Structure formats: C-alpha cells, structure tokens
C-alpha cells in the first residue's frame, strides 16, 4: 500500500490551537488507496524537521506534505520554495530564536517543491476552495521544516515527493480574537480584517490537494498561478 505522510504543527505564539494539526487530524485514514500517516510536529527549529525526517526514514512514503498555519493569509497555499535561511521574529516553542543564519551550511540556497503545486491549487479552486501557490514559506519554523525536508528528499529519499502547505487561521481563532478585542473598538475594527477559513474546508482542501498530488507526476503549466510584483 502506498503511504502519504502528512504533518501538522502544535500551537505556537500563545495560540490555543494550530489549525494545521486540526485539519490534518481530521483527514481520512486512506486517500485513493494510499495510507495516510499523520504526524504531530513541535514548533522548534531543528527538532521539528528531525521528527519529520525520522518518519520519512521509518515509513518511506510516496508523498510527504507538511502543513502549518499562516495567520493573515486568506487561502490555502501550497509552497513552491524553501530557502536556506532562518530569521525568527519570535522565539520557537523551545525558546530558540535564530537570526540571519543558514539552516544547513554548504547546502543549496533553496529547494523547489517536488509536488505539483499548480495542479494542487487548480484542483482546490475547482472544488470552490480558495487556494493559491505561495512563493515564500517565511523564515520561521515552517520554512525550516520545509527546507530540511526537501534537502533530505534530495539527498536521502529520492523516491519521495514533497512540499509544505500553509492554511489560514481557523474561523474560531478569529472569533476568539474578536471576542478578546471587543472591549477596544479600534482593535475590534482591526481584527475584523483578519481572514479565516473553516477547519472543515481546510480538511477538504488538503484531501483534494493530496489527490491531485497522487494523480499528477508532472505539474500543470498554468499561467494563472504566476505572480507579478
């Protein structure tokens, strides 16, 4: 049986939940005949990536998709590129805060996704789920995991294809923010701008994205997913 490794992060930055893990947890046990292996990952530089790499070693999946929260984004965003750079705005859950440093000395500056991000986005949009390709996974733990996992795929697990995917805030997180800010009209005004998505839609989006990844060895050349500045 084919295996798909899907990972989701624990909460960070004072949040009560991480929608990434909540959405991953709710995935079915199989997707088009492939076994779905779900892994909970700490928000820690180094240790997070190591946990995913240990699971790659143990399970040798066909596909690995790591999922994290990108609060403020309005869509599900498969990531195109992981960069060899760590620069943390806030400490991770172990208190580490790397600044302006390479993740792996001597390794390439960047790795591209080896899953078909355009096809994944097209399939989600087809199902009326807001999705777009992202060309930056940031410089925090998500990018650290993405970069180190893609480095491991390139150097140790060539039979596995993978990438990272960010989800927005879950709707309930924004409701909480609104409730907390309700005392201050100005703050409430600000939080009304925070986009969110239901966990149910995220899980459906993940499933559709994974089906598209299994179905497409070669990505679509879709001009819609290009960006201009």
Please identify every residue annotated as catalytic: 79, 142, 166
Give the count of beta carbons closer than 10 Å to the beta carbon of residue 185. 9
Residue closer to ligand PCA (CB basis): 70 or 76: 70
Quote the least distance from Cβ 144 to ligand PCA, whole Å: 8
Quote the least distance from Cβ 83 to ligand PCA, whole Å: 12
Which span (64-72, 118-126, 147-155, 193-201) binds ligand PCA, by CB under 6 A?
A: 64-72
Which span (66-74, 150-158, 185-193, 210-218) binds ligand PCA, by CB under 6 A?
A: 66-74
Quote the least distance from Cβ 42 to ligand PCA, whole Å: 9
The answer to whether the beta carbons of residues 78 and 120 sit under 8 Å apart is yes
Tokens of 92: 């991770």
Q: Is 202 in the site for ligand PCA (CB under 6 A)?
A: no
The answer for residues whose C-beta is within 8 angstroms of residue 54's C-beta and 6 or more apart is none
Q: Site residues for ligand PCA, window 88-147 (CB under 6 A)? A: 138, 140-142
Residue closer to ligand PCA (CB basis): 3 or 87: 87
Quote the least distance from Cβ 128 to ligand PCA, whole Å: 25
Residue with tokens 């924004």, as numbered in its chain: 174
Phi, psi at 211, each rounded to 5°: -60, -40
Q: Where are the alpha helices (DSSP H) in 26-138?
A: 47-59, 117-126
Of 69, 148, 160, 203, the one binding ligand PCA by CB under 6 A: 69
Give, in order, the Cα–Cα distances in Å from 93 to each of 35, 54, 71, 169. 30, 20, 17, 19
Residue with tokens 């701008």, as numbered in its chain: 193
Q: What is the DSSP letter of 39?
A: E
Q: Is 68 in the site for ligand PCA (CB under 6 A)?
A: yes
Angle at 178 between CA 174 and CA 183, to 5 degrees: 165
Residue closer to ligand PCA (CB basis): 69 or 118: 69
Site string for ligand PCA, 4-43 (x = CB under 6 A): -----x--x-----x-x----------------------x
Q: Are strands 161-167 and 169-170 parallel, antiparallel or unpaired?
A: unpaired
Question: Which spans of this chain sit near ligand PCA (rule: CB under 6 A)?
Answer: 9, 12, 18, 20, 43, 68-70, 138, 140-142
């Amino acid at each position: 049986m084919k295996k798909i490794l899907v990972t989701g992060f624990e909460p960070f930055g004072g949040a009560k939940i991480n929608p990434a893990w909540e959405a991953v947890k709710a995935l079915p046990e199989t997707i088009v005949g492939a076994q779905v292996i779900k892994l909970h990952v700490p928000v820690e530089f180094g240790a997070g990536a190591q946990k995913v790499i240990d699971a790659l070693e143990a399970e040798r999946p066909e596909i690995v998709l790591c999922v994290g929260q990108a609060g403020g984004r309005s869509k599900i965003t498969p990531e195109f590129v992981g960069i060899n750079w760590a620069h943390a705005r806030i400490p991770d859950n172990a208190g580490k805060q790397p600044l302006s440093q390479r993740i792996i000395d001597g390794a390439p500056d960047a790795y591209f996704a080896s899953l078909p991000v355009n096809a994944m986005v097209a399939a989600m949009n087809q199902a009326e789920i807001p999705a777009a390709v992202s060309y930056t996974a940031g410089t925090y733990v998500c990018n650290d995991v993405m970069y180190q996992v893609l480095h491991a795929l390139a150097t140790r697990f060539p039979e596995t294809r993978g990438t990272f995917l960010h989800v927005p805030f879950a709707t309930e997180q924004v409701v909480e923010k609104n409730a907390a800010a309700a005392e201050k009209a100005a703050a409430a005004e600000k939080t009304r701008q925070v986009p969110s998505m239901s966990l149910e839609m995220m899980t459906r989006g993940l499933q559709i994205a994974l089906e598209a990844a299994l179905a497409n060895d070669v990505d679509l050349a879709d001009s819609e997913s290009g960006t201009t500045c």
